[in-house]
Structures are given as C-alpha cells and as structure tokens.
Amino acid sequence: MSVRTTARLSGSKLKPCIAAERPRAEPLKPCVTAAGELPWERCGTAGRIDQVKLRWLQGRIELGLGNLAIAEEALREAHQGLEKEELGYHAALSSLDLAGILLRRGCEEEARTVVLQATEVFLSLDIEVEAIRAVLVLQRVFESGVQGWSLLDDATRFLRRIEYDPSLTFSAWFL
C-alpha cells in the first residue's frame, strides 16, 4: 500500500468508522498497520505528530473491535505523545476516549479522574462557547459521581465534531 493510498483511506474512510462496532472497524486495521510501517523518522516534527495521532487512531479502532486492553494501551501512549507535542485539545480528547474504555472495564474512579482532568484542560483552552457548555455539563456530571457512558460518548463525539464545524450548537446536539 502506498503512502498516498494510506492517506486517502485515513481521510475518507477512517474518521466515520472510528467508534464503529466490530464489522465496520475490522477492515481498517490493515490500513493503520501499513501506515505504522511508514518511515516516520524522516518526517521530523510533523512525522512525530502524525505517528502519535496514528497511535490514537489505532486505539480507537481496537476499541471498535472490542480489544479493550490493546485500545487502552494505545490511547495511553497517544495521550502521552499528544501532551509531549503540546497538543492540549487533542490530548484532552484522547483522555475522553481513554475514560470510555476505563468505564467499560469497570474502572469508574479512574475514569472519573481522567474525565475531570480532561475537562480542566479543555476549560484552560480558547475553545468555542458551545464546546465549553458540553465540557461543563460533562464536568458537573462526573463531579457528582455519576459515570455516564452515553454522555461521555456524546460529549466526545461533539467535541471532535465542533473542532471542524464551529456552527454546531450544544442544545441541538444534546437536547
């Protein structure tokens, strides 16, 4: 598979299927594996960032395949890499992905801690007002001790989408 083919697949096919169930995630695994074999060291900083984002993507695909332990490991690595590259928004977003896995694995207290840390990062950034509303709701729910998988999933998808479409509104998405 050429670099060009991998890039085209990652742009058009990967994003809609990230949180997909097993049947939709399975075909993506070879694409991500092939992309992981690219000569990233030749790309400098941009290559390191792409490599970290690819690891994040691998974690999300493994989650879609139901491989929670592998997904958790990949997301922890990706989160560390995103923090190292000072990509705060993406690091916080990857934390929400990780918290979803932790909830599924029954680690409610760790998931709560991860979500609350991520909300603090989001609130420290200059983000859209609608994104702040979603983050505040997520923060209040998890501060109260309620671990809402559905809310976490919805908020994560909303924060991922609003990054590319600032016209989205909180009320239209959640209510």
Which one-letter DSSP state was computed for residue 11?
Answer: I
How many whole angstroms separate alpha carbon 174 and alpha carbon 33?
Answer: 35
Q: Taking the domains of the chain in order of start, what are their residue ranges? A: 1-86, 108-175
What pLDDT is attached to residue 150?
83
Identify whether the C-beta of residue 167 lies closer than 8 Å to the C-beta of residue 114.
no
Nearest CA-CA partner of 151 in 109, 105, 112, 117: 112
How many whole angstroms separate alpha carbon 148 and alpha carbon 49?
Answer: 31
Local confidence pLDDT in tens for the 175 residues of the chain: 333 222 323 333 333 333 444 556 666 666 656 655 555 455 555 678 888 998 999 999 888 888 999 999 999 999 999 999 999 999 999 999 999 999 999 999 999 999 999 999 999 999 999 999 999 999 998 888 776 778 898 899 999 999 889 888 877 776 6
Identify whether the C-beta of residue 84 lies closer than 8 Å to the C-beta of residue 94.
no
What pLDDT is attached to residue 166?
87
- Cβ neighbour number for residue 47 with a 10 Å cutoff: 14
For residues 122, 126, 132 and 136, what is the CA-based torsion angle, rounded to 10 degrees? 40
How many angstroms from the chain centroid is the CA of residue 87? 13
What pLDDT is attached to residue 171?
77
